[in-house]
Amino acid sequence: MLAINGGVPEIRNKLAPYKTIDQNEINAVVDVMKSNCLSKFVGEWGEDFFGGPQILAFENEWESMFGVKHAIAVNSWTSGLTAAIGAIGIEPGDEIIVSPWTMAASATSILHWNAIPIFADISINDFCLNPDTLEESISPFTKAIMLVDIFGRSADIDKFIPIAQKYNLKIISDTAQSPGALYKGALAGTLTDIGGYSLNYHKHIHTGEGGIVVTNNDEFAERVQLIRNHAEAVLMKKKFNSLNNMIGYNFRLGEIEAAIGREQLKKLPSLILSRQTAAEKIIQSLKEIPGVTLPESDLVRSNVYYVLPIILDLDQFTVDRHEIFLALKAEGLEGLSEGYMNLHKLPMYVKKIAYGSKGFPWITGVAHRDIDYTKVQLPIAEKLHSETFLEFEICKFELNEHDIQKVINVFNKVLKHYSKK
């Protein structure tokens, strides 16, 4: 009997939280504390403009592992996205196409530069932007595409590059959730003009807060470094004459966080393998249940499983998604959510109120055309969110063999109970 109907829950103890910190990180932090150098950044041009020894080593090690020319550490991936967009030369009123299925910062980092987010629909196959319908969202004012490598898997980049070339657009990769995922043998986030990763506490590797911007473009890297560290204050001494978007910030990562990141980076392959092992066992156990679509991983695009996304064909079940969700929760399964995001439905976009109360930057004189987000139709994203999508946040848990079997038992117990077959 299902627990929601009075039966015994399958999981009676909380799943252990995801834990990547061990004695190696503790030792690294102690060493930094003993060094008395918690940060070496100085907001003026000189030897310390690029940070201290841990920052420099962390960036070098990331460049080596990810095969990129430049890796720039920042204090969050939100900061990284903001710096990346400024670095590619976005102007007020320019449009950047972005997925509605992403953390809010993907879009607000566009607004930061008084540019306009244009939300386009996603693909039901990978939850990334849909290349087949993307061109419908391109206007004469479009300057870039932000590809969000969502849930642990890369967007199908080769389908976007010809579109970007056709319209002379830059591509930004938001690979916050997918560090280590492979696309045709290369690491996701490294194949576009500029990209990067989150080091937030529930990501694959983390420093509490933090992020990494990556690019092979020397100019973009230099501009990110400037935006990270009070650009406007150093341009004269640096003899850097390009002033556009050189509004600098304190986006600097500390030495302690960088030291933790160095130890975490060493573990990335094993952490990914552990996540893949757990997710693929769950997927294998559920793949024969009618009406359940599960994520893919293949030789073209691997999956590092930030979350386990599930699509339900409700014609195959006797109840709706919400009833299934409640039954799964009653069995003791934590980390479940119904739907994901639809950023274009947030009040900020519906009412077009961001900076101040007068509609800036969507007002005439900044925006090149009127964007009415209430009329934006994104049928795939909207149906998934409102009706058919469930996620299990596998990123939040440290699953041993016993836990994996318990999770499998919960899904099988509930989904088979409500299956029409």
Q: What does the pLDDT look like over 201-210, one tens digit per residue?
A: 889 999 999 9
pLDDT attached to residue 240: 86
Specify whether the CB–CB gap between 122 and 128 falls below 8 A: yes
CATH T-level topology, domain 3-16+268-340+382-418? Aspartate Aminotransferase, domain 1 (3.90.1150)
Kindly report, residue by residue over 365-407, the tens digit of the pLDDT: 999 999 999 999 999 999 999 999 999 999 999 999 999 999 9
Band (pLDDT 50/70/90 cuts) for residue 79 is very high
pLDDT attached to residue 299: 83
Kindly report, residue by residue over 219-253, the tens digit of the pLDDT: 999 999 999 999 999 988 888 888 899 999 999 99
For the packed helices 231-238 and 218-228, what is the interaxial angle rounded to 10 degrees? 120
pLDDT at 141 exceeding the cut of 90: yes
Question: What is the chain's mean pLDDT, rounded?
Answer: 96
Can you tell me the mean pLDDT for 27-35? 98
- For the ranges 80-84, 214-218, 237-241, 330-334, the lowest mean pLDDT is seen at 237-241
pLDDT attached to residue 237: 87
State if pTM tops 0.85: yes
pLDDT at 297 exceeding the cut of 90: no
Q: Give the H/E segment covering residue 322.
A: helix 321-330
pLDDT attached to residue 290: 96
Percent share of the chain, pLDDT over 70: 100
- The first and second tokens of residue 67, run together, are 């095969």
pLDDT attached to residue 421: 81
pLDDT attached to residue 8: 96
> How many H-runs (helices) and E-runs (strands) does the chain carry?
12, 13
pLDDT at 158 exceeding the cut of 90: yes
Specify whether the CB–CB gap between 371 and 348 falls below 8 A: no
CA nearest to 149, candidates 118, 108, 192 = 192
pLDDT attached to residue 77: 98
| Three-state secondary structure readout of 325-366 | HHHHHHCCCCCEEECCCCHHHCHHHHCCCCECCCCECCCECC
pLDDT attached to residue 74: 98
Sequence-ordered list of residues with C-beta below 8 angstroms from that of 330, at least 6 positions apart, any chain: 2, 3, 4, 9
Band (pLDDT 50/70/90 cuts) for residue 298 is confident
CA nearest to 66, candidates 185, 219, 242, 236 = 185
pLDDT attached to residue 239: 86
pLDDT attached to residue 296: 83
pLDDT at 261 exceeding the cut of 90: yes
CATH T-level topology, domain 23-264? Aspartate Aminotransferase; domain 2 (3.40.640)
pLDDT attached to residue 140: 98
Percent share of the chain, pLDDT over 90: 95
Query: What is the amino acid identity at position 107?
Result: A
pLDDT at 180 exceeding the cut of 90: yes
pLDDT attached to residue 232: 93
Q: Is 90 helix (H, G, I), strand (E, B) or coil?
A: coil
Can you tell me the mean pLDDT for 19-30? 97
pLDDT at 26 exceeding the cut of 90: yes
| Domain extent listing, the chain | 3-16+268-340+382-418, 23-264
Specify whether the CB–CB gap between 303 and 295 falls below 8 A: yes
